[in-house]
Chain A
Amino acid sequence: SAVISQKPSRDICQRGTSLTIQCQVDSQVTMMFWYRQQPGQSLTLIATANQGSEATYESGFVIDKFPISRPNLTFSTLTVSNMSPEDSSIYLCSARDTGEAFFGQGTRLTVV
């Protein structure tokens, strides 16, 4: 099973600024995913990140707000841009590995 290290684990940010979240996988994986989980809610898929191609965004999420990088098969970043208090949430990255999906520890973001 893959192990995913996600950082930062939490941050408090000023509105209007940007935060980049990093995920490092201990093995090569084809697909990585980014999710948002608002308090008390389920996980909502933001985008799918494949190495060597543009990320695929879900309805309601756009690249200008949530740019994603996937430079290689073990690493991805999600940037939350021009933040507002509505972006306060938990952000999780995930990787698919032979029929299973593994998750990072999550980033708890608070925008003030």
Chain B
Amino acid sequence: AQTVTQSQPEMSVQEAETVTLSCTYDTSESNYYLFWYKQPPSRQMILVIRQEAYKQQNATENRFSVNFQKAAKSFSLKISDSQLGDTAMYFCAFMARFGGGSNYKLTFGKGTLLTVNP
């Protein structure tokens, strides 16, 4: 079974500073995807960044970047130049095949509530 662990229930950061959110996962699959989603109070799940397991290069999207350590099964998110609008719940998620077929399932961590302070 796949599991995703986010060990930081809450974090806070000052505006313009950098913060790193941690995520580890466990799987026996070799081909999978990893994601970070942001959920503001509006409850809309917004995809922040995506990483394919077969790619060694860490994904980046503007101020957001990941540190993907496949051997350690670690997938942390770094937010640079934090902005007030970054305040949200952040979920790490893992997607891989299940049932031996072509179906994929998305498994979420428990989330990290990030607060950006002015």
Contacts and interface: CB of A to CB of B under 8 A. Distances in A.
Interface of A: 1, 31, 33, 37, 41-43, 45, 48, 50, 56, 90, 92, 94, 96, 99-103, 105-106, 108
The main secondary structure of chain B at its interface with chain A is strand
A37 B108 CA distance: 11
Nearest to B109: A42
A56 B100 CA distance: 14
A41 B111 CA distance: 8
B44 interface: yes
B91 A96 contact: no
B106 A108 contact: no
A92 B45 contact: yes
Nearest to B6: A42
Interface in B35-50: 35, 37, 42-45, 47, 50
Interface string B84-118: 00000001010100010001111111110000000
Contact of B91 (A1, A43, A108): A43
Interface string B57-95: 000000000000000000000000000000000010101
A105 B108 CA distance: 17
Contacts of B108: 42-43
Given A41-B110, A99-B52, A105 B103 contact: no
B92 to A, nearest CB: 10
Nearest to A43: B108
A94 B106 contact: yes
Contact of A105 (B33, B43, B105): B43
Given A48-B103, A90-B43, A92-B45, A100 B110 contact: no
B106 A33 contact: yes
B44 A106 contact: yes
A48 B43 CA distance: 21
Contacts of B106: 33, 45, 94, 96, 101
**Nearest 9 A-B pairs (CB), nearest first?**
A103-B45, A106-B43, A42-B110, A42-B108, A43-B108, A101-B106, A42-B111, A105-B44, A99-B33
